Structure 1
Amino acid sequence: MNTTLATFEKDVIEASKHAPVVVDFWAPWCGPCKSLGPLLERLEHEYAGRWRLVKVNVDENQQLAAHFQVRSIPHVVAFVDGRPVEQFTGVLPESQLRVFIERLVPNPAQAEHRAALLARDEGQRDVARDHLQAALALDPGYDEARLDLIELLLDDDLVDDARREATLLSPKTTQGIDVRYNALKTRLDALDAATDLPPTDALEAAVASDPGNLEARFDLANALIARRAYEPALEHLLEIVKRDRSFRDDVGRKTMLSVFDLAAHQPELVSEWRRRLSATLH
């Protein structure tokens, strides 16, 4: 496929969100290009759709060539998820070219994971879940995909299913300092705690009558986290930090950090409460 400045966004940037795209900057007068081009085309055919080749004639697309700082051709730039990730200039031997491509091409589990994220972003949640389960069937130790599945299940209020998936995570994730796992564990813990807690209005009344009751305040924060009411939860957690950093081994601050990860889709909220926490700690 040939592309131009007018079609580059669709042919390369958008297309690379579905499969890696290798862009070959070439010209008809370039001798080495006549060796590299057919080799790339043969490998694209061999990989049967796992990556795409797009060609840019630099004589006809000087603005594109300048944008990518092409000073010598052939010049090859690989795109994944909408951005350039690898490049080389000149002609590589076939063995090195295969290594270059293998670094780009996802394995089958990664391909299913990529398809799941695209489906999720397009609002196709059931399709996303199917792709994630397919990825995990191919690679049961693929924790990144399992974390995405847990998050999807929690968002759909399938809490028991999410708990079961969490038990299948590998020790390297559950026993380490994986930020996403810690955030999701905070959410699961909050849901567990909420099932045994008094109604939210009763907890609010307890805190109002005794602002120093940190147990009631933490219970209220958990109830709010379970409902994904992150801002009021952060208010109570910060108050715990202000009143007693040692309460439950600094649980106020630690839980705030997990809530920041849970609320990553609300960057302004996270930024504001990070600032408030920092000001309190200093």
Structure 2
Amino acid sequence: MNTSLATFEKDVIDASALAPVLVDFWAPWCGPCTSLGPLLEKLEHDYAGRWRLVKVNVDENPELAAHFQVRSIPHVVAFSGGRPVDQFTGVLPESQLRAFIDRLVPDPAQAEHRVALHALEAGQRDVALEHLQAALALDPGFDEARLDLIEVLLDEERTDDARREAELLSPKITQGIDARYNTLKTRLDALDAAADLPPTDALETAVTADPGNLEARFDLANALIARRAYEPALEHLLEIVKRDRTFRDDVGRKTMLSVFDLAAHRPELVSAWRRRLSAALN
């Protein structure tokens, strides 16, 4: 693919969010360029879409050549994640070219994961699910991709599927201190608890009748978390903290911390409730 100043952002910067892009700065009169260009094209074909080759004719695009300080050609600049990450000048033998490319190119599972994250940013959840599942088919131990999949499944209210995926996470995630897993586990636990709880209005009645009923208050908080009603849930959890720090091994405070992670997209709410929790603990 040839690019120009007008299309460089789309062809290189945006494209490198999905897969590495090698930009070959060349010119028709450059003898070494005629050797390197076909070799790069051959390797692009061999790697089957795991990276892309984009060519810049320096005679037609002097602004691009000047911007990237190209003083001698052929000159290759590698982009990944929207920025230049490596480069070389001259013609390298195929073995060195492969080594250069291998340092840039993610393994197939990581490539699928990268596409999935890009799809999520674009709001394409079905596409993201497809690529997350493909990443895990290639690497069943890819915990980061599985956590993403669990989060998407929960957002889609596919709780049983999310629970099955959580069972496949490695012990280093489930038995360690992984903040993201703990956050997702809070959502799953709240959904599990809510499924067996009385209706929310009945729990509210129980708490109103007996404000010291911490079991009912905690059940109500779980029901509210399952509905993503985080602020009223935090109200009840903070009340548990104030009334009895020992209740269920300080479950009020611990659950509040998990809710802060769940509500991270609402920083003002989290900041306000962190202050209230801190005040209650002092």
The TM-score normalised by the length of structure 1 is 0.81
1:106 to 1:234, Cα distance in 2 relative to 1, 3 A? same
Residue 224 of structure 1: aligned partner: 224
Residue 187 of structure 1: aligned partner: 187
CA distance in 2 between counterparts of 1:232 and 1:29 reads 71
**Structure 1: stretches of 5+ with no match in the other structure:** none
Displacement of 1:187 in angstroms is 0.7
Residue 144 of structure 2: aligned partner: 144
> What amino acid sits opposite 1:86 in the alignment?
V
1:40 to 1:253, Cα distance in 2 relative to 1, 3 A? farther
CA distance in 2 between counterparts of 1:212 and 1:196 reads 22
Please give the per-residue CA displacement for 1:155-188, whole angstroms capped at 9, x wherever unaligned.
Answer: 2222122212211111121111222211111111
SS in 2 for 1:106: coil
1:180 to 1:39, Cα distance in 2 relative to 1, 3 A? same
1:38 to 1:150, Cα distance in 2 relative to 1, 3 A? same
The answer to whether 1:107 aligns with 2:107 is yes
* Aligned residues of 1:32 and 1:90 also touching (Cα < 8 A): no
* Aligned residues of 1:27 and 1:57 also touching (Cα < 8 A): yes
Q: Within 5 Å, which residues of 2 pair with 1:78-157?
A: 78-81=78-81, 83-84=82-83, 86-91=85-90, 93-157=93-157
> What amino acid sits opposite 2:149 in the alignment?
L
CA distance in 2 between counterparts of 1:204 and 1:177 reads 33
> What amino acid sits opposite 1:171 in the alignment?
P
1:66 to 1:278, Cα distance in 2 relative to 1, 3 A? farther
Once the two structures are overlaid, the 10-residue window that deviates more, 272-281 or 159-168, is 272-281
Please give the per-residue CA displacement for 1:143-165, whole angstroms capped at 9, x wherever unaligned.
Answer: 22222222222222221222122
CA distance in 1 between counterparts of 2:12 and 2:46 reads 20
- Aligned residue pairs: how many? 280
1:3 to 1:126, Cα distance in 2 relative to 1, 3 A? closer
SS in 2 for 1:140: coil
Please give the per-residue CA displacement for 1:124-156, whole angstroms capped at 9, x wherever unaligned.
Answer: 434433333333222221222222222222222
Residue 54 of structure 2: aligned partner: 54
1:18 to 1:222, Cα distance in 2 relative to 1, 3 A? same
1:165 to 1:88, Cα distance in 2 relative to 1, 3 A? same
SS in 1 for 2:6: coil
Residue 162 of structure 2: aligned partner: 162
Please give the per-residue CA displacement for 1:56-113, whole angstroms capped at 9, x wherever unaligned.
Answer: 4566656555665x375565443334x2262134345543432231233233323333
* Aligned residues of 1:25 and 1:73 also touching (Cα < 8 A): no
1:274 to 1:25, Cα distance in 2 relative to 1, 3 A? farther
> What amino acid sits opposite 1:165 in the alignment?
E
SS in 2 for 1:188: helix
**Structure 2: stretches of 5+ with no match in the other structure:** none
Once the two structures are overlaid, the 10-residue window that deviates more, 125-134 or 270-279, is 270-279
Aligned residues: CA RMSD? 3.2
Residue 23 of structure 1: aligned partner: 23
Please give the per-residue CA displacement for 1:203-243, whole angstroms capped at 9, x wherever unaligned.
Answer: 22333344444333322221111112223223333343444
SS in 2 for 1:260: helix
Residue 256 of structure 1: aligned partner: 256
Displacement of 1:53 in angstroms is 1.5
CA distance in 2 between counterparts of 1:47 and 1:149 reads 27
> What amino acid sits opposite 1:224 in the alignment?
L
* Aligned residues of 1:24 and 1:55 also touching (Cα < 8 A): yes
CA distance in 2 between counterparts of 1:110 and 1:29 reads 39
The TM-score normalised by the length of structure 2 is 0.81
> What amino acid sits opposite 1:159 in the alignment?
T
> What amino acid sits opposite 1:117 in the alignment?
L
Residue 240 of structure 1: aligned partner: 240
Once the two structures are overlaid, the 10-residue window that deviates more, 221-230 or 262-271, is 262-271
* Aligned residues of 1:143 and 1:169 also touching (Cα < 8 A): yes
